[in-house]
Structure 1
Amino acid sequence: MKTLENQTLLYDEDCPLCSLYTTGFVKSGMLDENGRKSYCQLSQEEQSFVDLKRAPNEIALVDNKTKTVTYGIDSLIKVIGFSFPLIEKIATIKPIHFILTKMYSFVSYNRKMIIPGNAKTENKLQCTPDFNYKYRFIFIGFALTITTIVLFGFSNLIPNVPKTSILREFILAFGQIVFQSLFLLKMDKKTIINYAGNLMTISLMGSLILVPILTLSQFVNLPQFLILGWFGITVFIMFAEHFRRVKVLQLPFYLCFTWVLYRIIALVFILNL
């Protein structure tokens, strides 16, 4: 593995995802031992040439010799491409580069919502991405779509439940956002949208946990206790994650109870169709 030397990635230390992949670059040898540094630890000199508005949105790669900076997907292409030149050639083709740029923005602007962490408020510099309505709504729509499709398939595996439809599963998934938002009406719209994003991230996570059973059921006739047991464990994991996120977001804990209440209402609605 070729090492890109004298280059430092400025990562978001409050983002578990950012910490994970930058650590991976160093441990794999793509970057040297000084190849990553927390954005919050920028020196006064570095702050003079790093774009402090752009860096929280697009990870910055600092060339320590020339004091120049690369941002966003280009930083990652530079790091990975140094070890794998073919990947760099492919990634810099205009249509592919455009798609990669959009994918990067999709993840970067939503990273605090995908895997939220406890922010260190004592840091003077905060690596918090701008609140981007476009990418936030795209993420919510994406999670809503995946959740609807998976629940449509999984619901048909559960016995004694009326036959479902894509429309019903969409209404139930979207209805959760509306129902929970009613208990946050006194808060500002960014807080409500941010919570809605976290809510759909949890639903997406739950859907992905259900996928193995859904896939396996296409080839094997699974016992009902396994299907129901897996579903119960999934709901428990989702509740625990919702509880954790409410705490991280410093939102009222009654949202956990209303989260359960909505599911009870939804179950009653389904059984009485």
Structure 2
Amino acid sequence: MKTLQNQTLLYDKDCPLCNIYTSGFIKVKMLDNNGRKAYCDLTNEEQKFIDLQRATNEIALIDNKNKTVIYGIDSLLKVLGNSMPWVEKIGHVKPIKFGLKKLYSFISYNRKVIIPSKEDKTQTLQCVPNFNYTYRYIYILFATLIASLVLFKFSKLITRIPESNFIREALITISQIGFQALFISKLNFEKQLNYFGNLMTVSLMGSLMLIPVLIIDLMIQIPELVLLFWFGFTTAIMLFEHIRRIKLLELLKLLSATWILYRLLILLLILFL
């Protein structure tokens, strides 16, 4: 790979996604060994020519020689385009760049609910994205649709429960938000949406664990007991992940108990109604 010299990407050191792809650029020699820097480690001089607020939402690429900065998808296209010019050329085609910007914003504004981290309150500079209601609603809807579709497909493989449909699975998935909302109503609305984003990430994670089973079943029929075991295992992993996120968010442990209660109530309703 051709190395982009004297350029530094600012990254959120508390964001695992940011850590992975910025360190990856250095490992594959797209950036030199000084090619990334944690946002919280910015010097006073650097803070003078960097848009600090914008850099929390869009990764900034600093030209150390000219003291200029570009942000977001332009930063990534420049890094990739230095080694693969065709990527940058395609990425700057207007319709493609528009889509890339929207996708980048979707991930960036939701990165703290996709992979949360404990806030380091000792840091003066916090790389926390602005709270964007539109992208949070879109993320919750996206996770709901994926989880509902996967659960619908999976439920068709289980003959021991009444036949399902997509509408029922969607209602079950979205109603979980309403049920949990009863127990966090005293929190401000942003904190509630932050929890709901994490809640739906757990559901999305569970769905991703079920997808390989759906693919395998297309080729060979999997015994129903194996399917039930895998579903139970997936639910257990989801519970542990929910508990972990509750701790990171410093919310009531009760929310994990009500998470279990909701699923038990839904199971009873499915079996006996």
TM, length-normalised to structure 2: 0.99
* Whole-angstrom CA distance in 1 between matches of 2:25 and 2:152: 39
AA of the residue aligned to 2:154 = F
Cα distance in 2 between the residues matched to 1:137 and 1:203: 15
Name which of structure 1's ranges 213-222 and 199-208 shifts more when overlaid on structure 2: 213-222
CA distance in 1, matches of 2:158, 2:81: 48
Aligned to 2:167: 167
Cα offset, 1:221, TM superposition: 1.1
State the one-letter code of the partner of 2:210. Answer: L
Which letter maps to 1:188? N
Match of 2:153 in 1: 153
- Structure 2 counterparts to residues 55-204 of structure 1, below 5 A: 55-204=55-204
Structure 2 unaligned blocks of 5 or more: none
| Paired positions, count | 273
Aligned equivalents of 1:236, 1:141: Cα separation in 2: 24
Equivalent residue of 1:161, what SS? coil
How far apart, CA to CA, are the structure 1 residues paired with 2:127 and 2:16?
13
Gaps of 5+ in 1: none
Distance (whole Å) between structure 2 residues aligned to residue 160 and residue 101 of structure 1: 45
User: Per-residue displacement from partner, 1:122-141 (whole Å, max 9, x unpaired)?
Assistant: 00000000000000000000
Report the equivalent of 2:266: 266
Q: Counterpart of 1:252?
A: 252
The one-letter amino acid of 1:134's match is: T
- How far, CA to CA, are the matches of 1:79 and 1:33 in structure 2? 14
Which amino acid in 2 is paired with 1:145?
L
Please list every run of at least 4 consecutive aligned residues from structure 1 whose deviation after the TM superposition is greater than 3 angstroms: none
- Once the two structures are superposed, residues 93-121 of structure 1 have per-residue CA deviations (whole angstroms, 9 ceiling, x without a partner) of 01000000000000000000100011211
Deviation at residue 156 of structure 1 after TM alignment: 1.3
Name 1:234's counterpart in structure 2: 234
Residue 3 of structure 1 aligns to a residue in which SS?
Answer: coil
- Residue 26 of structure 2 is matched in structure 1 by 26
- Listed one character per residue, the Cα deviations across residues 46-81 of structure 1 (whole Å, up to 9, x for unaligned) are 000000110000000000000000100100000011
Aligned amino acid, residue 72 of structure 1: G
1:209-257 Cα offsets, whole Å, 9 max, x none, are 0000011112211112211111111001100100000000000000000
User: What is the root-mean-square deviation of aligned Cα atoms in Å?
Assistant: 0.6
* Partner of residue 216, structure 2: 216
SS of the residue corresponding to residue 62 of structure 1 reads strand
Q: Quick one: distance in 2 between partners of 1:265 and 1:169?
A: 14
Offset, 1:159: 2.8
- Paired letter, 1:14: D
Task: Give the 3-state SS of the residue equivalent to 2:57 in structure 1.
Answer: coil
* Distance of 1:238 and 1:28 partners within structure 2: 34
Determine helix, strand or coil for the equivalent of 1:9.
strand
Q: Deviations over 1:164-206 (max 9, x none)?
A: 0111001100010000011001111111111111100000010
Alpha-carbon offset, residue 41 of structure 1: 0.2
How far apart in 2 are the matches of 1:229 and 1:50? 52
Name the counterpart of 1:205: 205
- Aligned to 1:55, the other structure's residue is in SS state helix
Q: Partners of 1:221 and 1:178 in 2: how far apart?
A: 36
Q: What percent of counterpart residues are identical?
A: 56
Q: If the length of structure 1 is used for normalisation, what is the TM-score?
A: 0.99
CA distance in 1, matches of 2:228, 2:244: 24
